Structure 1
């Protein structure tokens, strides 16, 4: 193999390694963000359920006051 071909292959391999490293970092960041979004979603679902329960309790109290 000629030196020029070897240098070309080395340069391409170095670029592939850089891209692989960048993609691994991007993937780790995306997984972290996904985990954060999932925790936020759980928190919002719980908050929504609490609000729904409170509204239902208020409606029940209002209906009981209405029937008095």
Structure 2
């Protein structure tokens, strides 16, 4: 193999390694964002459940008042 061919392969390998590093960082950032969204969704579901429980309690009290 001639020297220029070796250099071309070395350059391509360097480019691939650089691209791999960037993709690895991007993948980690996406995983972090996904984890944040999962936590946020869990919090919103919890808040929604609390609001639903409070609303059902209010409706129950209103019905009780209505019957008296």
TM-score normalised over the length of structure 1: 0.98
Q: What is residue 19 of structure 1 aligned with on the other side? A: 19
Note the aligned Cα RMSD (angstroms): 0.4
Q: Measure how far apart 1:58 and its partner are.
A: 0.4
- How far apart, in 2, do the equivalents of 1:19 and 1:62 lie? 63
Q: Measure how far apart 1:52 and its partner are.
A: 0.1
Which ranges in structure 2 are unaligned for 5 or more consecutive residues? none
Which 4+ residue blocks in structure 1 deviate beyond 3 angstroms? none
Give the alignment of 1:1-68 within 5 angstroms.
1-68=1-68
Count matched residues.
68
